[in-house]
Amino acid sequence: MRIDIISCVPNLLDSFFAHSILKRAQQGGFVEVVIHDIRDYAVNKHRTIDDYAFGGGAGMVLQVEPIARCIRALTSERSYDEVIYLTPDGEQMQQKMVNQLSLLGNIIMLCGHYKGVDQRVRDMFITKEVSIGDYVLSGGELAAAVLSDAIIRLLPGVLNDETSALTDSFQDNLLAPPVYTRPADFEGNKVPEILLSGHEAKIEDWRHEQSLLRTKSRRPDLLQ
């Protein structure tokens, strides 16, 4: 898979992809993440990429030309399955959406800033609009990072234990059961006996039951 992220603050993303699972995923060749600076596609020598909104009002708007040039440069090199704009008025990100996106080959993610991008960018180039939740961030970089992370950890081979992603919350519409590690007794707080028993089937049953209980009490909406 290849993910191209278009941003006007590309440095914000550098460290995010340079550590832990996301770093290993790139080094292992499971994903290629390429970050593009909108300013490199500016049409004037001052490298301007934003301007005042037509009709007035507070806040700058990212201009259509630099973004169009960047997206066209990419799509002339390879075909993309989705060109995603991260935006609070997009479809809300859910695990199911992430699962579907993880099956694709090439994705572009466009990060807005200030008041957002000129509507014509969205009309002409964007195939999918995604929100990471009902709140407003100052830029799309964190949202692109959140979406990329959720996708990349699903790519086969990225997580050490192949089954690990399947037992996470929201797969099967259930929240994950509680997990424990050593020591078995911390200041009198003991790990549930069953987990030390070695009975794989019973442990599976217990975990499923805990998942159900947790989902019922915290997110009953998932069970409907």
Taking the complex as a whole, how short is the minimal distance between the CB of residue 139 and ligand SAH, in angstroms? 5
Decide whether 113 or 207 has the Cβ nearer to ligand SAH.
Answer: 113
Angle made by CA atoms 192, 195, 200, in degrees to the nearest 5: 150
Question: Residue 36 contacts by C-beta under 8 Å, 6 or more apart in sequence?
Answer: 4, 5, 6, 7, 10, 70, 74
Amino acid making up residue 131? S
Work out whether strand 50-52 and strand 60-62 pair parallel, antiparallel, or are unpaired: antiparallel
* 194-to-73, 183, 191, 210 alpha-carbon distances in Å: 57, 15, 8, 12
Decide whether 89 or 205 has the Cβ nearer to ligand SAH.
Answer: 89
Instruction: Kindly list the residues in this chain that would bind ligand SAH in the complex (CB under 6 A).
Output: 86-89, 111-113, 115-116, 131-133, 135-137, 139-140, 143
Cβ-contact 153, 102 below 8 angstroms? no
> What is the number of the residue whose Cβ is closest to ligand SAH?
112
Name the β-bridge partners of 36: 6
Decide whether 138 or 197 has the Cβ nearer to ligand SAH.
Answer: 138
Q: Is 203 exposed, middle or buried (0-12, 13-18, 19+ CB in 10 A)?
A: middle
Decide whether 131 or 148 has the Cβ nearer to ligand SAH.
Answer: 131
Taking the complex as a whole, how short is the minimal distance between the CB of residue 94 and ligand SAH, in angstroms? 13
Q: How many CB atoms lie within 10 A of CB 151?
A: 24
Taking the complex as a whole, how short is the minimal distance between the CB of residue 205 and ligand SAH, in angstroms? 39
Taking the complex as a whole, how short is the minimal distance between the CB of residue 85 and ligand SAH, in angstroms? 7
Provide the angle, in degrees to the nearest 10, between the axes of the packed helices 20-27 and 141-152: 60
Decide whether 134 or 185 has the Cβ nearer to ligand SAH.
Answer: 134
Dist. CA 151–CA 101, nearest whole Å: 7
Taking the complex as a whole, how short is the minimal distance between the CB of residue 208 and ligand SAH, in angstroms? 33
Decide whether 152 or 174 has the Cβ nearer to ligand SAH.
Answer: 152
Taking the complex as a whole, how short is the minimal distance between the CB of residue 67 and ligand SAH, in angstroms? 11
